[in-house]
Structure 1
Amino acid sequence: MVGEISARMSQETVAAQAMLTRFAEWRGREPESVAADTTYGNGEFLQWLADRGITPYMRTRDSIHRKNSPFYGPERFTYQPESNSYRCPAGQQLNYGGRNQRNRTYAYIGTRKRCGACSQKAQCTTGAFRFLAIHMDEPARQRARELANTPEFAQAQRQRKKVEALFAELKNQIGLRRLRLRRLKFVREQFFLAAVAQNIKRLVRFLSQGPRSILPATT
């Protein structure tokens, strides 16, 4: 993290890519998995991980919205590659309507005739017809959603919290809420010194425990 401390919120995934690339160069292999919070659960980063065979243990950025939405999510719609369309839960077709390059999504649209008389319309949309936005990296996002329901995901998130606790200690106990120096090289030095203080605390705690008693062997 020290090498990427200047990253802004909008650049966090770029910083993560740089750190993972350095890890691969150092160890000669990609990491098996990455655990992170929802900030990193965007389609571009998830696809970047998928291209490298890295398992993503993070929720997609739309997870909270989907959880609270009373309407059918994109996972309830079935893609039909032969016609480049989607079939809704009621069996009706949503035709391709173009793409939004800025949001990196493809649009699939129902019709007033099909949606208006549908018995499941209340579970699908409040509009005259259903508009379905599918992210260009939707397969990678769907893979992340599936992983979020596995025991491995829960274990990875528990491990992540241990790391997060160290950053909370730096911020709340060691006083690293604000940087006191300017220029990146001085900021790095401040982080290194804070990390040294953190490790010394643990060393003192370890040494103060005294020798551990060895239980006699039993037969």
Structure 2
Amino acid sequence: DVEPKFVSPSDPAAQWTGALRGPAFLAYADNYLIDLKAAVIVDVEASRAVRQAEVGAARTMLERTAERFDLKPERLAADSAYGSAEMLHWLVDEQKIEPHVPVINKSERHDGTFSRSDFTYDPETDTYTCPEGKTLTTSGRIVNEGTNRLYLGSTFDCGPCPLKERCCPNTPARRITRSIYEHAREVARSLRGTPAFERSRQGRKRIEMLFAHLIRILKMGRLRLRGPCGAQDEFLLAATAQNLRKLAKLITPSEPQMTQGT
């Protein structure tokens, strides 16, 4: 869990955030689950204004929608905040939902040394091969709080290697970690750039339009009620108003054409 920097005495569940790139303030996050085709809000969930809580809210809304309406999407479109290995594993392996989500990648190095992408993975032997052709193996050891498997090179190979300064200048041998959910990450990467992914990326603009309407038209820049329940009530009422507005546009007949008689 993320420790808040400041806590409000009157609303301790509110999150201190600077997400809008301006002065920080205490807030709740409004999370929408929408049907991209119709731009209808299917579910809404209030959460702390922090990425981990917002990702958890997405899972809550998907599970609740499946239970309440027996609706399960074929694909989920979201930004990179939802591209963690754990979330992708939940979508791909547990929910069988296509993740049209950019993958969070923290393995790239920017100090001139080789990144993990410079090594070749062999799924049959579960090993990596370095740019010099040497093998990195794993004992199955899990690190980083149980989320990554560790692969190690041999000191006999790495020590005299001519590429050592570009690979592991500060350690005797090269170490690489691989997510235990790498299969789900590879599925997400394979979808990126496909026509369906691009359509989903364009469709995400609809949710941004809903949030813009929420702030500018419905004037939801500030909550009147306190606490998570108060935030949930206000967000739910606002989403209902937005859906009713869309429904009214769909069922209201267009004005009849006026014709001039002679």
TM-score class, shorter:
0.7 to 0.9
Summarize the alignment of residues 54-69 of structure 1 with structure 2, pairs less than 5 Å apart.
Answer: 54-62=97-105, 66=108
Deviations 1:89-139 (A, max 9, x none): 432111215221515111111134423554665765554432211011111
For residues 34 and 198 of structure 1, the distance between their equivalents in structure 2, rounded to whole angstroms, comes to 21
Asked if the contact 1:170–1:176 (Cα under 8 Å) also holds between the matched residues in 2, the reply is: yes
Aligned positions of 1:141-152 closer than 5 A? 141-152=185-196
Q: CA deviation at 1:77?
A: 2.0
The answer to whether 1:20 aligns with 2:62 is yes
Question: Structure 1, unaligned stretches of length 5 or more?
Answer: 215-219
What code does the residue aligned with 1:4 have?
A: E
Q: Which residue of the partner structure matches residue 88 of structure 2?
A: 46
Partners of 1:35 and 1:122 in 2: CA distance: 41
C-alpha change, 1:188 and 1:32, in structure 2 (3 Å) is: same
Cα pair 2:47 2:54 within 8 Å, conserved:
no
- Structure number with the higher helix fraction is 1
Aligned counterparts of 1:102 and 1:81: Cα–Cα separation in 2: 26
- Structure 1 residues 90 and 8, CA, compared in 2 at 3 Å: closer, same or farther? same
Q: Cα distance 1:24–1:192, how it changes in 2: closer, same or farther (>3 A)?
A: closer
Matched residue, 1:161: 205
Q: How does 1:1-219 map to 2 (within 5 A)?
A: 1=32, 3-9=44-50, 10-28=52-70, 30-51=72-93, 52-62=95-105, 66=108, 71-74=114-117, 76-82=119-125, 84-96=126-138, 98-102=141-145, 104-118=147-161, 124-128=167-171, 129-195=173-239, 198=242, 211=255
> Which consecutive residues of structure 2, in runs of 5 or more, have no partner in the other structure?
1-31, 33-42
Task: Flag the 1:147–1:122 CA change in 2: closer, same or farther, 3 A.
Answer: farther
Distance of 1:196 and 1:35 partners within structure 2: 22
SS in 2 for 1:11: helix
SS in 2 for 1:171: helix
What's the offset of the Cα at 1:41?
Answer: 0.7
Which runs of 4 or more aligned residues in structure 1 lie more than 6 Å from their structure 2 counterparts after TM superposition?
200-209
TM-score normalised by structure 1 residue count: 0.76
- What residue number does 2:9 align with? none
**8 Å Cα contact 1:74/1:132 also seen in 2:** no
The amino acid of 1:155's aligned partner reads R
Tell me by how many angstroms 1:187 deviates.
2.7
Query: How far apart are the structure 2 equivalents of 1:150 and 1:76?
Result: 25
Q: Percent identity?
A: 32
CA contact 1:96–1:107 (8 Å) conserved in 2? yes
Secondary structure (helix, strand or coil) at the match of 2:132 reads coil
Structure with the largest fraction of strand: 2
CA contact (8 A) 2:88 2:99 kept: yes
RMSD (Å), alpha carbons: 3.6
TM-score normalized by the length of structure 2: 0.65
Q: Distance in 2 between matches of 1:211 and 1:74?
A: 60
